[in-house]
Each structure stands twice: as structure tokens, then as C-alpha cells.
Amino acid sequence: MRRALAVLVVALALPAAAGAQPGVGVKAKTGKGLYAGYCLSCHGVDGSGVISTSHPKGVLDLRGLGPPLRGVGAQAADFYLTTGYMPLADPHDQPRHTKSPFDKQEIAALVAYVASLGKGPKVPRPQPRLGDLSQGQSLFTEHCAGCHQIVAEGGYVTNAVAPPLHQATPVQIAEAVRIGPYLMPKFPVSQISDAQLNSIIAYVQWAKHPDDPGGWSIGRIGPVPEGLVAWLIGAAALVGCCLLIGRRFQR
Amino acid sequence: MIRAIVRYVDERSGTAPFLKRALRYVFPDHWSFLLGEVALYAFVILVGTGIYLTLFFEPSTAQTYYTGHYLPLRGHQMSVAYRSGVDLSFKVRAGLLMRQTHHWAADVFVAAIVLHMLRIFFTGAYRKPRDLTYYIGLTMLILALLEGYLGYSIVDDLLSGMGLAIGYSVLMSIPFVGGNLAMLLWGGPFPGTSAFESRMYIAHVFLFPILIATLLGLHLFLVAARHHTQFRESRRTTEKKVVGIPTFPGQAPRSLGLFFAVAAVLFLLGGLVQINPIWLWGPYHVAQGTNGAQPDWYLGWLIGALRLVPNFDVTIGHYTLVPNPFWGGALFPLVVFMLLYLAPSLERRFTGEYGFRNVLDRPRDAPWRTALGAALFTWVFVIFFAGASDRIFVSFGVSYEAQIWAFRVLAVVAPFVALLATYRLCLALQESDRLDRIRRRAEAEARGEMPQPE
Amino acid sequence: MSAFRKWAIAFGVLLLGRKKRQPRVVDRPRIVPPGEPDPRAEWLVLLLLLLAAAAAVGFIVVYSFNHLAHQTQYLGLALGLALAFVAVALIVVGKRLVVTEELEEDYSLPHSTAQEELQQLVDESGDRFTRKRLLLAGGTAAAGAIGAALVVPALSLGPLFDTGALYETPWRRGVRLVDEHGKPLLLDEIERETFYTAYAQGADKELLGAPVVVVRFEPSQLHLPAARRDWAPGGVVAYSKICTHAGCAIALFRKPTFPVVEPGPALICPCHYSTFDPTRAAKVIFGPAGRPLPQLPLAVDANGVLRAAGNFSGPVGPAWSGVRSKPPRNPS
């Protein structure tokens, strides 16, 4: 019986699974239906995961690859969906911040569905107002700056990018710290308490609009843009002055 | 009134004849001859703003806690040096303007020296009798690179602290003696004794400026003593006669104007464009790091080299003969500067010209020199560009690993391509010049004029 | 007319009056050729100079504020503009108000006569010497030795001949691992899929040998060499946090969520991206580092606290000639 149901669900999703893009032509509105249309081909039936494309074969013809979602809870689903990390067209790509194809209700439905697949963490409710900016700076420097750069401008990690955090909401930051999405470490409460997390989020929020008393901030990543300005503005202006003052070739 | 001043000065120093000669001294006035002056004026601004900064900066690694207004650093432990840098930026009125102008001046100073050096090289101005002037200039370039590195390192922020660790590693990597030299300079293993900050400080505010100023004086004296070179642009310019504008009244307002222009650009940058916001980086700690750490632009060629060299140490049994950073951090700049220093003598050897040369070449008229110079420049530039590949990846998505491989290949191939392409370009330009001359001679003859001797 | 008005008018006439071209007393030919006046240029220069003055006054006014938003920008703009106006004024003077002459001068030739005379001067001065070479040798000995003597105090800068300190770390058997606040690390508190920074208890945190990065794996995931099988209690490993390439802190940790498609766990340095595999004794898998991170052997004491079971597997930090010759040791 269960197998027949699975076949039915997958058959509904076959048009999607056959195409490269997840979710082409899906008209479902329920969490389960959306899951079938957008997620099933990689995350498997009931979130059991697909860890090998060679097995199973046959009518299901699953071609995606994805980790199991049982027990990841609403926290992970909310994070990956609100950031647009998921759905991911190619499981070998790094998930990136994109515009989600879902609207708010659809995301809520999917989150509820994934949460139902097993007991897992809820969507966190951080309170950055209670955080301390100074403590946040030290914690961010110690745990996060190595990948995300000291003011969250993003950075390179071997074979991946640690994204800039300009668009991250406090909830997403809290979720990411606890989930460790993609290649990011997963920081437990014993390492970064909820109070410390509030401080980190307060710092990230501040880092989106620091004061910049020096003027045009040119990216806040230091010497690379500074060198560009020194040459393309400073040196260029002065060479221009030289051209104005001196003579040119008079052939 | 002028008469009174002149009489006063000449009665006490006897310099009126010298001044008359000096004020009527002739300078050819091509725009590219002003690039050296731009560097000179940037140096003046550096010294002026630098003196101001020394009145506030405290070069001490004693530990203190930040109690100022800048919230993210409240209560943080840091060195007194770093704290005085933050205070200069936030508490001292006009302090941030002076700090930023000083740093922009340093970046523009080295840029101007590089442009000036390129002009000297590609026009052959370094030939006898000006090769000594050229060696002095190259030495000043090296000193400027080190001076800048020291300057931003004394502030003890996270970014520059990481840079100091790298400098230490490059010194350590010198075969046989590296470890010894590093221990001597730092007073022990990194981060070294607290006296290391004092050493950097006194080198930056006194030793190097004195060295640079002395060499600068010698450099300018030699330029004046031998007269400036000139392009062959009219019948009158020859190896024997220099044609140009006298210092006074002609050049004086122009040069003075250029000085004010340099000062204006630097102060405008210093006030309007943020540079080295040390308060964002935080203080340096050995166990901390941030992504995207880079040295100032003029050391970008070294970080590129360090990243491109594949991972190997050269060992003989248990003896580590050549640690990895040596190739990119020490040997590469050594080779580049060695080639630059050897350029005048190599050129003499290969062209057989041992006499004085006062007339400049247009780059196209010396195809080998131009092509070889372009090749060397391309080699350095490709490696320099590779140094920013992580930011290129973050901003534009081009795979870092792919870039590293691409740049490794380009670093070998591109100089040869540049050599051949530039050589061909020079010959093509020479050809078009020749055709131009023929055409103009034909037109002059058609008009019934005497053809101009070339 | 009041005295004040008289003075004011006189002052105005003095400043604004045009100089009449007076015939010079001709006893010498002109040095600088004559040129036509350019009144419009003069007014332009005057305007620029007044603008420069105004901008400079603006600078002083902005400076006088105790606190002003964007003060640095206004200061820079004011001073920059003042200098820029003067620059433009001078350029106008140079191009339109001062005669541009084109003069000729001779390039100087080699002074063969003077050179020969100098040579002669030195030669003849040495006529009274009979043992020039011996004295020269003596002079060289004296200069060399005095030079060496003057340079020798530079040895006080640091230990030039003894690089033993490069082998020193504060770790030995029994030293506890503590976090940055001094709290000891408990084995049970170390979770997988994240990374921790720890220090040697009681040591200066700013020593290269002090910080370690601690990571936990399932024991089955670890592939350590046979000699290090018991260095990882519970699958917890510790490596020096200082990169063996150029000394930056290993501040990145890569943890795969889905190892089927994602790269494996790695400790990475942000300077040149040397990448080390913590499951394989920090072997270098990418980037320019020439040797793996030194590993710290760990043990757990009766209270569950993580302690070092010895010193690192090799000296910490960037390489020098002796980095592979001797094992690390403690300060004496």
C-alpha cells in the first residue's frame, strides 16, 4: 500500500523529475504536494534522502542527490527556503542566496511538512536587542570572521564561498549558526549560547551599516579596493594634471 | 623690496651667481617628465602628515583596555599602539583626516614612483650618465615599499598583524640563515619582544625617511647636474644641447601648481574616501584571522606569488633547505629588482653603446628594450593580479582553484606573448612613422619648401 | 573727508590699481622676453585665490566644531578645495601670465682635465709613502675590525646564533586545554561538526605555540598514522592553530553537511588558503603549505578534562632550516 502511494506521489512528480529544473509545472499548494514537486527528486520519499544515483533505478528513476530531512525540523527548512538556498537545481552546486520560487504561505506549508517528517528544532526566535555589540565583535571575530570576513563581507573557503551577510535576517543568522548549512560549521548551544548568539546577531546587524567616519567605504575589505582607488582616481587625476601642465608630443 | 632680499641673501651667502644660474636652468617640459615630481610632492605630504601623526601615536605593545566611544571595541584588550590608532581616528580632531591622507599619500607615492620608473625605463633615460640616478631611484622604490609596510604594521591591527606574520615567515624561509635573521630582528620567535614595535616605529619615522630624503637629495642633484634628458622633437634638440623652459619664471608656477594639485588630491582622498579602517579590523591576536586579508597594493605581487607557488619545501634529509615562502616572497622580488638594476649595464653590453646618451628614445624606437620591459612588467602584473583572486571569486564567481591554475600558466606564458607582441608593435609603429615622414617630405616638396633634415 | 575714509581709499587704490608700464632704466638687455598682459587671466587668478582663502577659512570653521557629522569629509573637502584652487591659479599663472620661453643650454661633457687633475692630486700626495700596500693592509685590518666591533652590539637585538627558541612550545604532558577565558575544556562538551580554539593553561596566549584548534570526529572517520592512534580520545583531535606556511591563524573550518557531493572536512588558513585534512593528521590537500599542521596528542583526565599527552608532533609555525631537525620542547 505504502509503495503504491509512493509510486503515485512520484508519478505526480515525474514531469518535474524528468526535467532539469525542480518544480516545472507544479500546481500543488500543500506542503506535501510542493515537496513532491520540488524536493522529492533529491531528498527522497518522506525525506529519506538520496545518497546514490545508481540506486534505486527503475520506475522511480530518481536522479537527484540530497541529504535526509528526517529530524532536521522547521529550523532547517525555514532557513533553506527563506534564503532561497533550496530548491537547488544541481545537487553539486553550492546553494546560494536567491529569490525563492515560493511565496510565504508555500514556505510555511513546506516548513510544516518537513517538520512533520521527524522531531527537530523549531524556528528560533533570537533577540538581538538583548545582545551586546562589543561581545558580538569578539565572538564574531573568533568563530566567524575567518570565513565571512571581519565585517561580514564574505570570503573564500577552499571549494566554496562564505557569503556576505548583508541580506541575512536575524532569524536566518540564528538558524545558520545552529544548522551549519552546506560547509559551515554547526555551532551548538554549549559552544555559542543563545545569549551569545544574540550578541553575534547584533554585531552582524551593525556590520551592515557601520558608521564609516572616513567617508566612502569602498567595500570595507581593505587594500584591494584601496589600491584601485589609488590608481584609478588618485594616480589618474595626477597624471591628468601632468598632461594639463606639460607639453605633449608635437609631431 | 626684492632687491633688498636679494642683497641680504647674497651678502651673507654669496649665492647670487648660483641662484641666477639655477633660476634660469633649462628643463624640457614634456608631461611625462613631471611624474617624478608627483612622487616627490607625495613624499612631502607624507612627511608633513606623518609628523602630525607622531605627535599622537603611541608605539607600545603594553596591553590596555578600550574605554572609548566606539562600541564594538568597548572593553576589548588591545595594545596601546592600536588604541592610540583608534583614538587618532575618533578622538583627535582632524586626526582621521591626517591618518587617511597619510595612507593615501603612501599608496599614491608608490604608484607615482612606479609610473616614473616605467617612463625612465621605456625611454631609456637610465643610460649613461644617468645610470647612477636610476640605481638611486630603484633603491628609493625598495625603501618606499618597506616604509609603507612598516607604516601600516605599527598600528597592530588584525590585518597588518597577519601581514607581519607573513613577513616573518618570508624572512625565516631564506636558506641557511633565515631563522637566525628572523630571531635577530624580532628578538625571538614571532610575535617577538615588545621592542620589535619600537624597532618598526623608529625605522618608519626616522631611519627610512632619512635614508629616502638623503637619496632623494642625491637623486635630484644628479638630475640637475647632468641636465634632464629630452625627446628629439625639433632640430635644436641634440645630444649636445638641451631645449626647454627655465626654472624661473617658466617652470616655477607649473611645479608649484603641481605640488598644490598633489596636495589637493591627497587631502580630498583623505577626507572623502575611507582607507584602512582599523577600528573595523580589531586588534591583532596571534590566534585570530579574518578572510580577505591583503597587504597594501604595492605588496600585492608578493601575496600573488606566495599563493601561486605549489606546496613543497625543499629538504635534504632532515635539513629544510628552502621553505615554501622563499620562492614567492623572497626570490621573486629579488629577481625582479636584480633585472631592473642590471638593465643599464646589460643594455650597454648588448648595444655596444658606452657613450653618453642625453636624448630619449620613443619606446617604439628601441624595440628590444620595450619588449623586454613589457615582458617583465607582464610577469609581475599577472602575479600581482593573482593576489586578488579570492576577491575576484567572491565578487564575480570565477572559481578560485581554476584561477590559481590559470594564473600559474599565464605567469609563464604571458611574458613571452607580451615580448613578441610588443616587439611586433614597435616595428609596426616604426614603419608607420617612416611612412609618415615620407608623406610629409613629399608634401613639403610639393609646396616648394626645403625638406627638413631629420 | 575723515581720516579713515582717506586711508581706506588709499588702500583700495593701492591694491586695485593697475601698474603703469614704466620705461626701465636701460643699462642691460632684457633677460625675460616681454609678453602681453592678460587681464582676464588676472581676474581669474584673483577669483581662484579668494575661493582658496574662503575654503581654507571653511576648514578652520569646520574644525572648530566639537562634534559634527561627517566632519572628516568636510575637513578634507575644505582643505582639498583650498589647495586645488591654488593649484589651478598657479597653473593659469604658468600658462597665461608668465612668459613661456624656450631656451637652450649645453649638456655638460666629461671633465677629462679635472678628472686627470684629481687623479694627479691623489697620486702626488702619496709621494712620501714607501710601503703603501702594507699600510693599506693595516688600514683595512683596522677599519674591518672597528667596523665589526661597531656592528657587534646589534647582536643584542635577538638570538642570532641560537635558534633554539623556535622549537619551544608551552605544551607538555598534563597541561590542560583551556578556552580564551581560562576555562578548561571537557571532552564531553566537544561536539562534532564544529571547531574550537584552545590554549595551554597558564601560557601567554600570544605565543605561536599556545593556540590549538580542536575538532571532533567519529573515531571511524579518523585515519591517523599508527604511532598516533591514541592521540585522539573519543575522536577528538588537536592541531596547532598556526599555519605552517606563513604563520597566520587557521581560522576556517569546512564541515560537509552532505559528504556525498560536498568536499570533506578541512582546516583552512585565510592568508593563502593552505588546506589541511584533520582526519588525516592535517595533511596538506590544497594551497602552498609545505608541511602538515603539528598535532598535539590528547588525553582525558579523571575529571573529563582534556589535557595534552605530550608536546606537538613537530615545531609550530612557519618553516626555517631546522624545522624538521628536532622535536619541539618546552622553555627551559
**In chain A, which residues touch C (CB < 8 A)?**
51-52, 65-67, 91-92, 142, 145-147, 155-160, 162, 180-188, 190-191, 213-215, 241, 244-245
Nearest to C261 by CA among A49, B170, B426: A49
pLDDT band, very low/low/confident/very high, at A57 (cuts 50, 70, 90): very low
- Domains: count for chain A: 2
Give residue C281's pLDDT: 97
Q: B354 or B215: which carries more pLDDT confidence?
A: B215
Q: Is C151 on the interface with B (CB under 8 A)?
A: no
Evaluate whether residue B186 is within a structural domain.
yes
**A213 CA: distance to closest CA in chain C (Å):** 6
Nearest 5°: the CA angle A138, C195, A134 is 10
Where is mean pLDDT largest: A187-191, B15-19, B236-240, B448-452? A187-191
Q: What is the mean pLDDT of residues B27-52?
A: 95
Q: What is the mean pLDDT of residues A26-37?
A: 80
Evaluate whether residue B369 is within a structural domain.
no
Report pLDDT digits (tens) over B395-427: 998 999 999 999 999 999 999 999 999 999 999
Report pLDDT digits (tens) over B319-342: 999 999 999 999 999 999 999 999
Query: Which of B242, B286, B324 shows the shortest C-beta gap to C249?
Result: B286
CB-based burial of residue C164 (10 Å sphere; 0-12 exposed, 13-18 middle, 19+ buried)? Answer: middle
Neighbours of chain B (3+ CB pairs under 8 A): A, C
What is the residue extent of each domain of chain C?
36-98, 169-308
Size of interface A-C (CB pairs under 8 A): 83
Q: What is the mean pLDDT of residues B244-254?
A: 88
Question: Domain residues for A85?
Answer: 29-123
Chain C residues lying within 8 Å of B242, measured CB to CB: 104-107
Q: Can you give the C-alpha Rg of chain A in angstroms?
A: 24
Query: Which of C63, C158, C207 shows the shortest C-beta gap to B93?
Result: C63
Question: Both B351 and B441 in a single domain?
Answer: no
Give residue C176's pLDDT: 97
Question: Residue B371 forms beta bridges with which residues?
Answer: none
Q: How many residues does chain B have?
A: 454
Which one of A100, A123, A146 terminates a domain?
Answer: A123
Report pLDDT digits (tens) over B351-410: 988 888 888 999 999 999 999 999 999 999 999 999 999 999 999 989 999 999 999 999
Question: Both A86 and A133 in a single domain?
Answer: no
What single letter denotes the amino acid at residue C154?
A: A
Evaluate whether residue A249 is within a structural domain.
no
**Angle, helices C39-63/C71-92, rounded to nearest 10 degrees:** 160
Q: Is C199 on the interface with B (CB under 8 A)?
A: yes
Question: Both B428 and B306 in a single domain?
Answer: no
Query: Which of B111, B288, B390 shows the shortest C-beta gap to A231?
Result: B111
Nearest to C236 by CA among C282, C299, C302, C280: C299
Give residue A79's pLDDT: 97
Which chain B residue has the Cα nearest residue C86?
B260
**Mean pLDDT of each 10-residue bin along chain C, 332 residues long:** 80 73 67 87 96 97 93 97 97 90 83 91 91 94 97 94 94 96 96 97 96 97 96 97 97 95 96 97 96 97 96 97 95 86
DSSP assignment of A130-158 equals: GS-HHHHHHHHHHHTHHHH-TTS--EEET
Question: Domain residues for B322?
Answer: 2-282+298-361
Q: Measure the CA–CA gap between C170 and C202, rounded to whole angstroms.
A: 9
Query: Which of C87, C288, C324 shows the shortest C-beta gap to B309?
Result: C288
Give residue C5's pLDDT: 85
Evaluate whether residue A68 is within a structural domain.
yes
Query: Which of A52, A215, A245 shows the shortest C-beta gap to C91?
Result: A245
Q: What's the Cα-to-Cα distance from A112 to each of A34, A98, C321, rounded to whole Å?
A: 11, 21, 61
Give residue A23's pLDDT: 53
Q: Measure the CA–CA gap between B8 and A220, rounded to whole angstroms.
A: 56
Question: Both A44 and A119 in a single domain?
Answer: yes
Which chain B residue has the Cα nearest residue C251?
B289
User: What is the rounded average pLDDT for all residues in chain B?
Assistant: 94
Question: Both B353 and B380 in a single domain?
Answer: no
Query: Which of A67, A142, A162 shows the shortest C-beta gap to C258?
Result: A67
Nearest to A233 by CA among C52, C51, B275: B275
Question: Residue A195 forms beta bridges with which residues?
Answer: none
Q: Is A231 on the interface with B (CB under 8 A)?
A: yes
Question: Both A65 and A92 in a single domain?
Answer: yes
Residues 241-280 of C with CB under 8 A from B: 241-242, 245-252, 269-274
Q: Is A220 on the interface with B (CB under 8 A)?
A: yes
Evaluate whether residue B267 is within a structural domain.
yes
Which chain C residue has the Cα nearest residue A161?
C254
Report pLDDT digits (tens) over B125-160: 999 899 999 999 999 999 999 999 999 999 999 999
C158/B193 touch (CB, cutoff 8 Å), yes or no:
yes
Question: Both B143 and B260 in a single domain?
Answer: yes
Give residue A18's pLDDT: 46
Correct CATH for C169-308 of 2.102.10.10, 1.10.579.10, 3.90.870.10, 3.90.660.10: 2.102.10.10
**A20 CA: distance to closest CA in chain B (Å):** 22
Evaluate whether residue A34 is within a structural domain.
yes
B35/A239 touch (CB, cutoff 8 Å), yes or no:
yes
- Domains: count for chain B: 2
Answer whether C199's CB lies under 8 Å from C210's CB: yes
Q: B269 or A57: which carries more pLDDT confidence?
A: B269
Chain C residues lying within 8 Å of B329, measured CB to CB: 246
Query: Which of A145, A187, A190 shows the shortest C-beta gap to C189?
Result: A190
C266/A241 touch (CB, cutoff 8 Å), yes or no:
no
B175/C321 touch (CB, cutoff 8 Å), yes or no:
yes
Which chain C residue has the Cα nearest residue A53?
C260
**Phi and psi at residue C221, in whole multiples of 5°?**
-80, -15
Which chain C residue has the Cα nearest residue A243?
C91
Report pLDDT digits (tens) over B159-185: 999 999 999 999 999 999 999 999 999
Q: Measure the CA–CA gap between C311 and C304, rounded to whole angstroms.
A: 20
Interface mutation vs chain C, best among B77, B91, B97, B259, most C CBs within 10 Å? B97
Q: Is B297 on the interface with A (CB under 8 A)?
A: yes
Please say if the pLDDT value at position A112 is more than 50: yes
Give residue A19's pLDDT: 42
Evaluate whether residue A238 is within a structural domain.
no
User: Domain containing B147 — which CATH number?
Assistant: 1.20.810.10
Evaluate whether residue A3 is within a structural domain.
no
pLDDT band, very low/low/confident/very high, at B250 (cuts 50, 70, 90): confident
3-state SS, B186-212, equals HCCCCCCCCHHHHHHHHHHHHHHHHHH
Question: Both A106 and A141 in a single domain?
Answer: no
Question: Both B335 and B381 in a single domain?
Answer: no
Q: Can you give the C-alpha Rg of chain C in angstroms?
A: 39
Which one of A90, A123, A156 terminates a domain?
Answer: A123
**In chain C, which residues touch A (CB < 8 A)?**
70-73, 76, 87, 91, 94, 180, 189, 191, 193-197, 249-258, 260-263, 266, 268, 270, 273, 275, 286-287
Evaluate whether residue B293 is within a structural domain.
no
Tell me whether strands B230-231 and B359-360 are parallel, antiparallel or unpaired. Answer: parallel
Question: Both B324 and B393 in a single domain?
Answer: no
Report pLDDT digits (tens) over A169-213: 999 999 999 999 999 999 999 999 999 999 999 999 999 999 999
C263/A160 touch (CB, cutoff 8 Å), yes or no:
yes
Question: Residue B246 forms beta bridges with which residues?
Answer: B26
Evaluate whether residue A140 is within a structural domain.
yes
Which chain A residue has the Cα nearest residue B390?
A156
Query: Which of B75, B158, B391 shows the shortest C-beta gap to A134?
Result: B75
Q: Is A5 on the interface with B (CB under 8 A)?
A: no
Evaluate whether residue B153 is within a structural domain.
yes
Give residue C22's pLDDT: 57
What single letter denotes the amino acid at residue C45?
A: V
Q: C101 or B287: which carries more pLDDT confidence?
A: B287
> In angstroms, how far is the first alpha carbon of chain C from the final one?
96
C319/B239 touch (CB, cutoff 8 Å), yes or no:
no
Chain B residues lying within 8 Å of C180, measured CB to CB: 287
User: Domain containing A82 — which CATH number?
Assistant: 1.10.760.10
Question: Both A84 and A166 in a single domain?
Answer: no
Which chain B residue has the Cα nearest residue A207?
B280
Which chain C residue has the Cα nearest residue A213?
C70
Question: Both B190 and B52 in a single domain?
Answer: yes
Give residue B91's pLDDT: 95
Which chain B residue has the Cα nearest residue C240?
B287
Question: Both A146 and A105 in a single domain?
Answer: no
Q: Measure the CA–CA gap between B101 and B269, rounded to whole angstroms.
A: 7
Interface mutation vs chain A, best among B254, B259, B291, B432, most A CBs within 10 Å? B291
Chain B residues lying within 8 Å of A165, measured CB to CB: none
Please say if the pLDDT value at position B452 is more than 70: no
Question: Both A112 and A55 in a single domain?
Answer: yes
**Phi and psi at residue A201, in whole multiples of 5°?**
-65, -40
C159/B184 touch (CB, cutoff 8 Å), yes or no:
yes
